[in-house]
C-alpha cells in the first residue's frame, strides 16, 4: 500500500511537509518501502488515512533515499513513525521507553487512529509529550 500514500523523496520535501502544515498533525513513516514490517505499517496507515484526513496528513520516507534524518532522529529500527505539529516534534509515552516515535508495525487500525487523535488533541493544547491511550510495555505480557 505504500504506493497509495505520498512519498517524500528529498530532505527539502520532508522539511517543507513539516513546516508548511499548520492545522493538521504530520505523520511520517521512515523506513524501507521493501521491508515487510514497513509494508504492514503502510497498509494500516493507508486504511486509517481516510478516517484521519481532517486532522492528520500521512507521508512515507525511504531512509535509503533520504538518509539526512537517520542520525538526527535515530532511525535505526525497521519502522519509525514520527509525529509533528506546527513544526514541532511531538512525543508520545507508549510505555516502551522511547517517547520519540513508534518503532514497530501496529496491528489494529482503531488503535492507530486513537494514537493519532491523542497526539493531535495534546498538540492543540500545547503539550509536547502526550500519554498513549494504551500501554505498550511488555511488562504485563506473558
Say what the pLDDT of residue 4 is: 79
- Give the residue-averaged pLDDT of 111-137: 91
Give the domain ranges of the chain.
6-89+101-111
What's the pLDDT tens digit per position in 51-98?
Answer: 999 999 999 999 999 999 998 888 989 999 999 999 999 999 988 888
Q: Give the predicted TM-score (pTM) of the model.
A: 0.90
How many degrees, rounded to 5, is the angle at CA 90 between CA 88 and CA 92?
A: 170
The residue ranking higher by pLDDT, 36 or 2, is 36
Which band of pLDDT confidence, cut at 50, 70 and 90, is reported for residue 1?
very low
The rounded Cα 58 to chain-centroid distance in angstroms is: 8
Average confidence score pLDDT of the chain: 90
Say what the pLDDT of residue 51 is: 95
In CATH, which of 3.40.710.10, 3.40.30.10, 3.40.50.300, 3.30.43.10 is domain 6-89+101-111?
3.40.30.10
- Angstrom distances, CA of residue 15 to CA of 9, 18, 36, 100: 11, 5, 27, 17
Amino acid at each position: 500500500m505504500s504506493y497509495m500514500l505520498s512519498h517524500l523523496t528529498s530532505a527539502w520535501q520532508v522539511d517543507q511537509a513539516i513546516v508548511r502544515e499548520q492545522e493538521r498533525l504530520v505523520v511520517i513513516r521512515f523506513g524501507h518501502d521493501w521491508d515487510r514490517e514497513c509494508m504492514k505499517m503502510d497498509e494500516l496507515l493507508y486504511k486509517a488515512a481516510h478516517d484521519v484526513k481532517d486532522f492528520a496528513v500521512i507521508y512515507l520516507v525511504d531512509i535509503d533515499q533520504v538518509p539526512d534524518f537517520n542520525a538526527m532522529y535515530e532511525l535505526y529500527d525497521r519502522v519509525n513513525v514520527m509525529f509533528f505539529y506546527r513544526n514541532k516534534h511531538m512525543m508520545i509515552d507508549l510505555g516502551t521507553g522511547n517517547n520519540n516515535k513508534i518503532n514497530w508495525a501496529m496491528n489494529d487500525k482503531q488503535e492507530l487512529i486513537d494514537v493519532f487523535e491523542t497526539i493531535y488533541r495534546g498538540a492543540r493544547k500545547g503539550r509536547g509529550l502526550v500519554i498513549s491511550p494504551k500501554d505498550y510495555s511488555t511488562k504485563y505480557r506473558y
